[in-house]
Structure 1
Amino acid sequence: MFHHDLNHTGLSTGYGPDTSVVNWTFSTGDRISGSVAIGEDGTIYIGTRNYLMPKTDSKLYAIYPNGTKKWRWTPPHHIHFIDSTPAVASDGTIYVGSWDRCLYAIYPNGTEKWAFCAPCGGFVLSSSAVAPDGTIYIGNHNRRLYAIYPNGTEKWNYRTECTIQSSPAVGSDDTIYIGSYDKKLYAIYPNGTEKWNYRTGCWIMSSPAIDADGTIFVGSNDKKLYAIYPNGTLKWSYTTCDKIKSSPAIDADGTVYV
């Protein structure tokens, strides 16, 4: 799933290349805004967006490890943007959001399993987190964090005070963490009620990451990287030279990269 795991550590279990030699390229014909997701069988998933005129529909691609197309799926509502990074569940289901306000579940063969379309509108830039019990958590531009059952029905939603672009992270105690344009990092209980919130100095577009002791790391447009204790109090903050929109990654020795 997005940033490797529910904690969003971004820590790979594999090794990177020793050289910059390109193995292959795959052309979608459109722009790519999201990140790549890789299934357990090595299949690569990526969404596209189209700015060109005449506009064509956005697409989700599945690509074999050798760089050839496995399949291509097009959303049914004729939208032009898939910015959400796909998430792949343990059963192989692919979850991806789009600008038509829907979260889609796609079978590994490229056919649609179900769609959850937010009744309050809003497009989906956030990427899904899939909990061990199969619950899917996703943010929406309509200010809400949604919890979705594996069958595509709504479990609950929690409304923040502004747009959500951040992707949720889930702690070892099943607490859900997500940032909002209202400047706050939220901690939400698994039943959908608020545990606490921590206010930064500006929008939070960054997605939180959680380390082994439960500390939550998140960037803000106030140029700071925040480390927050699991009880919602500040551990420390570090000021950079510009807005932080990327998501922190944590290595095995606890070093944070952003």
Structure 2
Amino acid sequence: MKRHRFLIFFLLLNSFAFSQANHTPLWRVVTGGRILSQPVIGPEGNVYTISEDRKLYSVSPQGEMRWQFASKDPWSETIALTSDNKIIISNTKGLLYLLDLNGNIIWTYKLSSPLRGDILVSPAGQIWITTIEDSIIVISPNGQLSFSIQLPNKPSISPVMDYDGTMYISLNNKQLLSLNSWGKRRWSITIPGITTSLVIGNKGILYLGTDQGSLTAIGKGGEILWSHKISDNNLPLKQLFISMNNQLISLDQSGEISVLSSKGNIIKKTSLMSDVSGYGSLSDSGILYIPTSDYQIKAISLDGVILWTYLSDRPFQSVMTTPGPIIVAGGSDWILYAFKGEPSTFTSWSVLRSDSSNTGLSHRNGFFTYYDEYFKDNPQYQYYKKLIHSTGDTGKWQVLSYIEETLQDPEWIQKMPYATSLLIDIAREGLINPNYHKKRIDNDFPLTRGKAYELLGVIGNIGCRDYLIDALNHEYDTSAIVSCINALGSIGHDYDGGISRSISQAIKRNTENDQIAQSGIQAFRQIVAYNGRPTDSMMLDSLANLFQGPYLPHTRALALSLFEEIKKNNLNVFN
């Protein structure tokens, strides 16, 4: 009887293990070689990855092959997307490509030497490349050299970048460098080991794991906040993750998982029971998807419960969670896989590949959301906020004096969102002129420029209008272009057709960009409402091109609706 019970238990146990090991993929796409890069997810959910057969593959969310882009030389093992959804990729000869989402070449740039590690994209859209000659090459969005930096030692892993443009790069001599967006060194410190993983958490705190299994927290100014031994086996911390509730998760080479508070206190530990073979991912709900050395992908909760596994005949290289929600994985069996999984807004890779576009930027649930959270705990900000909303003008001018001091600070860009937030509040009171925000327009940070454009729209006088028209003619970042167009639309008064022309030209320069097109249509509608008619013939031409052009159905419908409304009401264009 006992023997029968044992046999039944044994069969049930093996049946459970078998069902886990045969978790069913949603689809498979066979490539011509080993998958080299972590998959990258585009705005429509399309997947981009590199294979050893020297091809870049584009696959739809349903697993259908969209296109392939071949190179005569092998590809380097990294892809990234820009903020305006262009693909950046380089071959092993150092030839850098910028492609559109259909695989067409926009430009190429020949690097002085092949790249090492990941491609980073700054908030300003600049492309940061680390080369095998231990230099950093920075390329502008239009494919021109911006500047280069020679590093004092070889990087231990790929550099990472925060949302304010601050770059961190760890070197093999146990030095950690912090650079600003122009490549100027902010600080350097000695760290307790060679860095094997990096991630940026709340309030800009940098967490780094080392080859000896320790975890160190470093403040924005380079101060070491704490350092603890994490790995029980003194093994390298292969990956670090930040959960949605700001807990730290470390993963060492042996598969040991540690969950920690932001202070470094260990909350719990669990294990994958096998070594790690590649880079994994964390979903918003706290499920880890990790490739292991026994040729599996394991889905494990932070409580240590194995939810499912998938077994292949070759090791997996990487797993990527997506908003889909699907999980995309590639490995040595030449196959790109997709599985049903928990959604993830952003994915924390070990070297801060923190979003599914692999720009290398840290994720803060939105840049200015992060600063708003910071302001809540900042007594100086709250003090000035009260002065702004106090009766009379004295308090408001006191705040302006503080802002003028901020703009003369050598590290002014670090305080810029702070100052801009205050300026916008004052602008709503109608107390300042456009000269106060010019420095915020003339900087390398699209998010800051976007807030400055918002400020100009709030003030709304003729000087602001002219600033915005000039800015729109030179702006290249999609989010900043949208902010600038929205500000122009909110001003509305277009006595000479200059606003309509600048918006029409921006739409034309950014063909097939639905986000810019939709903001332009809304601004046109506001201009027509304010002035009683279109203010320039280019507005009608632009609307006609939009509803007949290569845009999403919703964009075309918006354009057609406004066009027909103008025609129906027989609204003539100003001469």
Q: Give the structure-1-normalised TM-score.
A: 0.80
The aligned counterpart of 1:90 is: 163
Percent identity of the aligned residues?
17
Deviation at 1:205, TM superposition (A): 5.3
The aligned counterpart of 2:248 is: 176
Q: Give the structure-2-normalised TM-score.
A: 0.38
Could you tell me how far apart the structure 1 residues matched to 2:242 and 2:200 are?
9
Deviation at 1:94, TM superposition (A): 0.9
Deviation at 1:165, TM superposition (A): 5.6
**Counterpart contact for 2:271–2:304, Cα < 8 Å:** no
The aligned counterpart of 1:188 is: 260
Could you tell me how far apart the structure 1 residues matched to 2:106 and 2:309 are?
40
In the alignment, structure 1 residue 243 sits paired with structure 2 residue 319:
no
**Aligned-pair Cα RMSD in Å:** 2.5
The aligned counterpart of 2:130 is: 47
**Counterpart contact for 1:185–1:204, Cα < 8 Å:** no
Deviation at 1:38, TM superposition (A): 0.9
- Equivalences for 1:99-138 in 2 at 5 Å? 99-119=172-192, 121=193, 123-126=194-197, 128-138=198-208
**Counterpart contact for 1:82–1:99, Cα < 8 Å:** yes
Q: Tell me which of the two structures has the higher relative contact order, counting C-alpha pairs closer than 8 angstroms and 6 or more residues apart.
A: 1
Counterpart of 1:104 in structure 2: which amino acid? L
Deviation at 1:242, TM superposition (A): 2.3
Could you tell me how far apart the structure 2 residues matched to 1:164 and 1:38 are?
27
Deviation at 1:83, TM superposition (A): 5.2
Counterpart secondary structure, 1:133: helix
Q: Give the number of the structure whose residues are more often helix, by fraction.
A: 2
1:171–1:32 distance in 2 versus 1, CA, 3 Å: same
The aligned counterpart of 2:110 is: 27
Could you tell me how far apart the structure 2 residues matched to 1:9 and 1:188 are?
28
**Counterpart contact for 1:63–1:69, Cα < 8 Å:** yes
Could you tell me how far apart the structure 1 residues matched to 2:317 and 2:39 are?
16
The aligned counterpart of 1:254 is: 325
The aligned counterpart of 2:227 is: 157
Q: 1:232 aligns with which of 299, 304, 317?
A: 304
The aligned counterpart of 1:36 is: 119
The aligned counterpart of 1:4 is: none
Could you tell me how far apart the structure 2 residues matched to 1:163 and 1:65 are?
40
Deviation at 1:216, TM superposition (A): 1.8
Q: 2:282 aligns with which of 210, 230, 243?
A: 210
Could you tell me how far apart the structure 2 residues matched to 1:216 and 1:106 are?
32
Could you tell me how far apart the structure 1 residues matched to 2:39 and 2:267 are?
22
Counterpart of 1:115 in structure 2: which amino acid? S
Deviation at 1:148, TM superposition (A): 0.9
Could you tell me how far apart the structure 2 residues matched to 1:243 and 1:84 are?
22
Q: 1:147 aligns with which of 204, 217, 221?
A: 217
Paired residues, number: 237
Deviation at 1:100, TM superposition (A): 2.0
Counterpart secondary structure, 1:168: strand
**Counterpart contact for 1:227–1:236, Cα < 8 Å:** yes
Counterpart secondary structure, 1:252: coil
Counterpart secondary structure, 1:166: strand
Moved over 6 A (4+): none
The aligned counterpart of 1:53 is: none
| Uncovered stretches (5+) of structure 1, i.e. residues with no partner | 1-7, 51-57
1:92–1:15 distance in 2 versus 1, CA, 3 Å: closer
Could you tell me how far apart the structure 2 residues matched to 1:59 and 1:124 are?
18
Could you tell me how far apart the structure 2 residues matched to 1:31 and 1:70 are?
18
Could you tell me how far apart the structure 1 residues matched to 2:325 and 2:305 are?
19
**Counterpart contact for 1:98–1:125, Cα < 8 Å:** no
1:106–1:23 distance in 2 versus 1, CA, 3 Å: same
1:102–1:113 distance in 2 versus 1, CA, 3 Å: same
Counterpart of 2:139 in structure 1: which amino acid? I
Counterpart secondary structure, 1:24: strand
Deviation at 1:221, TM superposition (A): 2.2
Could you tell me how far apart the structure 2 residues matched to 1:68 and 1:20 are?
21
Counterpart secondary structure, 2:253: coil
In the alignment, structure 1 residue 198 sits paired with structure 2 residue 281:
no
Could you tell me how far apart the structure 2 residues matched to 1:93 and 1:163 are?
29
Counterpart of 1:148 in structure 2: which amino acid? I
**What is the CA deviation profile of residues 10-47 of structure 1, one whole-angstrom value per residue up to 9, with x for unaligned ones?**
65556463433333333333342311111121111122
Could you tell me how far apart the structure 1 residues matched to 2:215 and 2:114 are?
27
Could you tell me how far apart the structure 2 residues matched to 1:143 and 1:230 are?
19
Could you tell me how far apart the structure 2 residues matched to 1:205 and 1:187 are?
20
Counterpart of 1:63 in structure 2: which amino acid? I
Counterpart secondary structure, 2:107: coil
Could you tell me how far apart the structure 1 residues matched to 2:190 and 2:284 are?
34
Could you tell me how far apart the structure 2 residues matched to 1:217 and 1:143 are?
21
Counterpart of 1:25 in structure 2: which amino acid? T
**What is the CA deviation profile of residues 156-190 of structure 1, one whole-angstrom value per residue up to 9, with x for unaligned ones?**
22321244262311001111122212332322221
Deviation at 1:99, TM superposition (A): 1.8
Deviation at 1:227, TM superposition (A): 1.3
1:178–1:49 distance in 2 versus 1, CA, 3 Å: farther
Deviation at 1:64, TM superposition (A): 0.9
Deviation at 1:105, TM superposition (A): 1.0
Deviation at 1:117, TM superposition (A): 2.1
In the alignment, structure 1 residue 62 sits paired with structure 2 residue 132:
no
**Counterpart contact for 1:34–1:83, Cα < 8 Å:** no
Counterpart of 1:255 in structure 2: which amino acid? I
Could you tell me how far apart the structure 2 residues matched to 1:66 and 1:147 are?
36
